[in-house]
Amino acid sequence: MTTHDVEIAIIGAGFSGLGAAIKLIQEGVDDFVVLDRGRDFGGTWRDNVYPGAACDVPSHLYSYSFALNPQWSRSYSHQPEIHRYINAVADEHGVAGHTLFGTEVTHAEWDEDTHRWNLRYTRDGEQHTMTARNLVGAVGPLCEPNLPDIDGIDEFGGTIVHSARWDTDYDFAGKRVAVIGTGASAIQIVPQLGRVVGHMDVYQRTAPWIIPRNERPYLGVENWAFKHVPGLQAAIRGGIYTFNEAVAAGMTYAPKALKPVEALCRANIFRGIRDPELRKAVTPAFAVGCKRILKSNDWYPTLDRDNVDLVTSGIDRITPTGIVTADGTVRDVDVIVVATGFHVTDSPVFDTIVGAAGESLAQVWDREGMAAYKGAFVHGFPNMMLLIGPSTGLGHTSMVYMIESQLNYLVDYIRTVRDRGLARVDVSKSAQDAFNTDVQHSLRRSVWVTGGCASWYQDHNGNITVLWPGFTFVFRNQTRRFDIAAYDVAVADESDTTESVTGKPVGIDA
């Protein structure tokens, strides 16, 4: 067992954790470590290797603003290319030297005596410990696969594959396949499998709204222009961003304005499916935008294939050889593909982070609802910042934009802690509550509340705690500077223990 102390421990090496590391290096902070259980950088884009895995936000916007890539091969990037991009950015900034891969953090607990986070982690099968003045949780909201709780699933004799833990060695050719789920991952997987499997049953609980995907390869001359024409990439990025913000306005303030989007989705169904009954079965019964709007040109034609059936009767149980639906039909299969998403509001990682009162994030959020201040700081969990925590998710544009907004906040937080010699920084409950009251107020007329759907944007109380409502530039503005007035802080004395816990910001003139 080894143990050591760092100024900042970052858990996670996806877009968030890597971005944090780069910003700290640029700020001249050297005493930090990135811990990730995977084998390289990428998070989502390292783990989701299912066939067809791709981004729904155009490449020029789904990338760091400080690392534009003129070489994107397509208007929308696929998983291998994003994974390569993230690792190239990490190389360019020398982040590997700060990173421990194959390292799973199993416990992180705030120590009120030392004002440090005590971390336990496993690496190469061995237990280690570490202490850190500041903890950055960049563990990703879509990181922990959610296996459906269906009777008999453990007795299934064939193969079960989750979309986020794809078995690349499994040969689907000619197999009888069941796909459970019709969300963002399923609509990418199903068209790929449809071409090779013997037969496929797609189990749909709720049909999604799907618009056409205007994806195309870039011409060599375009890549040349992205590289050599000053400002071109930034202008394209700005155009995509602005268009997406208009969609955000509709979703948040005027769901009826999304009718043209619904018309586009309906036309997509009409174009892709011949059978009127099937068209009816895939038409959602909720307002467009209430769940994430998906993008595909080949989902509907795949459902229309002779070797593919859409099953809308609910799943009753799984047997050793197949699936039984509520109407009593038995369908035997060789493999079940589970595309049922992630533990978002109930991630197991929340059990492992324990705050000042000895309670875990899971316990606090279970009681009070999932909440943080600016999606980052949680009252009672001093010196800990989450990246894309509660109320930062988006249904319409790039999460990398939200991540970069929070990176500004992180850097200014670290600057503030250093400049003022702070030992303990805890967001006040009143600031956190006021922020979340505002978020819920902004949501009240939104499509996510009024649209008539259940979604993974909701926590167990039915509140939308995952999403940022409205324009993302408002969030960018709110996270530009670390607003110390919202925090209870204490300064460090020479022996590095607390001198005072003031309940008021230190160093702020009254």
Q: Which amino acid, 217?
A: P
> Nearest distance from residue 276's CB to ligand FAD, in Å?
32
Binding residue (CB under 6 A) for ligand FAD from 13, 333, 425, 464: 13
CB 196 to ligand FAD: min, Å? 21
Q: Helix axis angle, 220-228 relative to 232-253, nearest 10°? A: 100
Give whichever of 57 and 318 is closer to ligand FAD, judged by the CB atom: 57
Question: In the structure encoding, which two tokens stand for residue 24, read together?
Answer: 């700290």
**Ramachandran category for residue 106: left, alpha or beta (phi over 0 → left; psi -120 to 50 → alpha):** alpha
Is 466 near ligand FAD (CB under 6 A)?
no
Window contacting ligand FAD (CB under 6 A); options: 41-49, 249-257, 278-286, 320-328:
41-49
* DSSP, res 273: -
Taking the complex as a whole, how short is the minimal distance between the CB of residue 228 and ligand FAD, in angstroms? 28
Say how many residues make up the chain: 510
Q: Is residue 345 a contact point for ligand FAD (CB under 6 A)?
A: no
Q: Given the complex with ligand FAD, which of 11 and 258 has the nearer CB atom?
A: 11
Whether the CB-CB separation of 48 and 61 falls below 8 Å is answered with: no
Per rule CB under 6 A, is residue 375 in the interface with ligand FAD?
Answer: no
389 lines the binding site for ligand FAD (CB under 6 A): no
Q: Build a one-symbol-per-residue string for 391-410: x at contacts with ligand FAD by CB under 6 A, - elsewhere.
A: -------xx-----------
- Closest approach of Cβ 54 to ligand FAD, in Å? 8
- Considering the rule CB under 6 A, would residue 43 count as an interface residue with ligand FAD? yes
Q: Which of 4, 13, 6 is nearest to 33 (CA)?
A: 6
User: Rule CB under 6 A: is residue 145 a binding residue for ligand FAD?
Assistant: no
Based on the shown chain and the rule CB under 6 A, indicate whether residue 86 belongs to the binding site for ligand FAD: no
- Helices and strands of the chain, counted as H and E runs: 14, 21
Under 8 Å CB-to-CB from 338, ≥6 apart: which residues?
145, 147, 148, 160, 161, 162, 163, 180, 181
* Among the listed residues 172, 240, 185, 167, the one whose alpha carbon sits nearest the alpha carbon of residue 396: 240
Closest CA to 491 of 502, 480, 481, 483: 502
- If the CB atoms of residues 55 and 318 are measured against ligand FAD, the closer one turns out to be 55
35 binds ligand FAD (CB under 6 A): yes
The two tokens of residue 143 are: 């990181």
Q: Are 79 and 54 in contact (CB under 8 A)?
A: yes
d(CA 285, CA 175): 32
Is residue 36 near ligand FAD by the rule CB under 6 A? yes
- 216 alpha-carbon distance from chain centroid: 25
**Of residues 322 and 393, the one with the C-beta less far from ligand FAD:** 393
Q: Which is nearer to ligand FAD, 38 or 212 (CB)?
A: 38
Q: Contact, 284 vs 262, CB < 8 A? A: no
Query: CB burial class (10 A; 0-12, 13-18, 19+) of residue 67?
Result: middle
Sheet harboring 487-492: ordered strands across?
Answer: 422-427, 487-492, 498-501
Choice from 56, 201, 215, 334 touching ligand FAD (CB under 6 A):
56
Other beta carbons within 10 Å of 129: 13
Q: Return the sign of the alpha-carbon dihedral for residues 61, 64, 66, 70.
A: negative
Q: Is 38 in the site for ligand FAD (CB under 6 A)?
A: yes
CB of 18 to ligand FAD, least distance (A): 7
Rounded least distance, CB 352 to ligand FAD, Å: 7
Question: According to the binding rule CB under 6 A, does residue 361 interact with ligand FAD?
Answer: no
Collapsing DSSP to helix, strand or coil, 401 comes out as helix
Does 87 help bind ligand FAD (rule: CB under 6 A)? no
Our CB check for ligand FAD shows the closer of 43 and 390 to be 43
User: In the bound complex, what is the minimum distance in angstroms from residue 401's beta carbon to ligand FAD?
Assistant: 8
Cα–Cα dist 272/300, whole Å: 5
**135 binding ligand FAD? (CB under 6 A):** no
By CB under 6 A, tell whether 251 contacts ligand FAD.
Answer: no
Nearest distance, CB of residue 234 and ligand FAD, angstroms? 19
Q: Give the integer Cα–Cα distance in Å for 273 and 262.
A: 17
Instruction: Provide the residue type at 374 as one letter.
Output: K
Among the listed ranges 135-143, 226-234, 264-272, 371-379, the one in contact with ligand FAD (CB under 6 A) is 135-143
From 136-144, 317-325, 426-434, 493-501, give the range in contact with ligand FAD by CB under 6 A: 136-144
Residues 6+ apart with CB under 8 A from 58: 75, 76, 240
Site string for ligand FAD, 167-206 (x = CB under 6 A): -----------------xx---------------------
Residues in binding contact with ligand FAD, number by CB under 6 A: 33
Residues engaged in binding ligand FAD (CB under 6 A) = 11-17, 35-38, 43-44, 48, 53, 55-57, 62, 104-105, 138-140, 142-143, 184-185, 349, 387-388, 398-399
